[in-house]
Amino acid sequence: MTDETIAGSADATLSSRELERLRAELDRVDAELRDRLAERIACCVKIAQVKREYGVPMMQPHRIGIVQERAAGFADRNGIDRDFMRRFYDLIIAETCRVEDLVIGAAGGSE
């Protein structure tokens, strides 16, 4: 082995170890992200149950506006792409509306 190949192999070991460490960190963050997502959906189910019980109208469009505005502000402060953040919450809100519909038992849309 030349000095160069030894150095190269040391580099490869170093980068593998570093990547392994970062991927373990990513897996931990992902587990928490999934837990929060499940918690969010569970919270919306509870909201839907209260709405059903008391006959409160299903959707409050101004709440969606608040959630999206907060998300946009957060994106700006944290260097996250605004469009991605909007699509991220569009997806989550659409799913929670769908789940709320199921809980409330409405066959109609969630406008």
- Residue 1 makes CB contacts below 8 A (sequence gap 6+) with 9
x/- track of binding to a second copy for residues 29-48 (CB under 8 A): xx-xxx-xxxxxx-xx-xx-
Considering the rule CB under 8 A, would residue 111 count as an interface residue with a second copy? no
Nearest residue to 45 (alpha-carbon basis) of 104, 109, 107, 3: 104
Q: Does 82 bind a second copy (CB under 8 A)?
A: no
- What 8-state DSSP symbol labels residue 106? -
Other C-beta atoms closer than 10 Å to the C-beta of 105 total 8
Residues near a second copy, by CB under 8 A: 11-12, 14-15, 18-19, 22-23, 25-27, 29-30, 32-34, 36-41, 43-44, 46-47, 50-51, 53-54, 56, 63, 67, 70-71, 74, 78, 80-81, 84, 87-88, 91-92, 95, 98
